[in-house]
Amino acid sequence: MGGLFARTPHEHSEEPLPGFKLAYPMLSADGTVAGYSGVTLGRAHVYRTVDDAVCAHGSRHACPSRWCDCGFYCFHELSSARDLACEPDHRGAVLLEVAVSGRYRRYERGLRYARQRVRTVRIGRCECGRAAELLADSGVGSVGWRRLVPVCPGCAALRPVITPEDFSRLAGGIDVRLDGPIPGMPVPGVAVRPDPAAEPAPTTRDDEPGTVALLAAEVALLQARLDEVQSRLDRLTRGPEH
């Protein structure tokens, strides 16, 4: 062994190795199981929370093979997965924290490997840019599976949705977290973190009767002026008759 072979050593780990990746959240057609599908290679294949890789090209070899690009992929760093999530094609994806085990190969920024356990799902932003809080039916999918898409409550409107708690349960009790707003980009007019200890905004409620009273006073004033104008008009129109 040497040269080419030495550069791509095949390794095996008994201890789970941490990794980070993007995936599309999926829901089985009967609504009883949650899964994931790849964002690039193997888009058509849906995997479960604990699963073994299968060849994306239909070969029967064990993954990962030296001669094929199939297998699960992950990054070593969370930031690499977050960077990839900024690409337009990946905006509907969620971020997975995984534990890698079994046979694996290294590539420049991560691992390609045989077996995976999803530990955490991080739900990011809605298409509108606000923090997503639900998973809606995206309208696309593969045979037996609907692809879900992260949405904010506003954009969810009357669309069919499941909650993060639902997804967690259907995925076998994994940890599901909401990533919140885009870092460094607050939504105008919306408090980023409302302080639960703060008193319930008295100004808005007190302002309302105040504004109504002010408007009522102005209307009364206008009415009085209108009455005065009307009486002058009456006097003027009556004038020539005398």
Q: Note whether 53 binds Zn ion by CB under 5 A.
A: no
DSSP notation for the chain: --THHHHS--EEEEEEEEEEEEEEEEEETTSS-EEEE-SBTBTT-EE-SEEE---TTS--SPSSPTT---SEEEESSHHHHHHHTTSGGGTT-EEEEEEEEEEEEEETTEEEEEEEEEEEEEE-B-TTSSBP-EEEEEEEEETTEEEEEEE-HHHHTTS-EE-HHHHHHHTTS-EEEE--SPTT-PPTTS-SS--TTS---HHHHHHHHHHHHHHHHHHHHHHHHHHHHHHHHHHHHHGGG-
Which residue in 26, 70, 148, 149 binds Zn ion (CB under 5 A)?
70
Mark the segment that binds Zn ion (CB under 5 A) among 3-11, 68-76, 137-145, 204-212: 68-76
Q: How many residues bind Zn ion (CB under 5 A)?
A: 9
Q: Note whether 59 binds Zn ion by CB under 5 A.
A: yes
Closest distance of CB 72 from Zn ion, Å: 12
Judged by CB under 5 A, the chain residues 5 through 44 that form the site for Zn ion are none
Binding mask 150-189 for Zn ion (x = CB under 5 A): --x--x----------------------------------
Residues at the site binding Zn ion, with contacts judged by CB under 5 A: 55, 59, 68, 70, 126, 128, 130, 152, 155
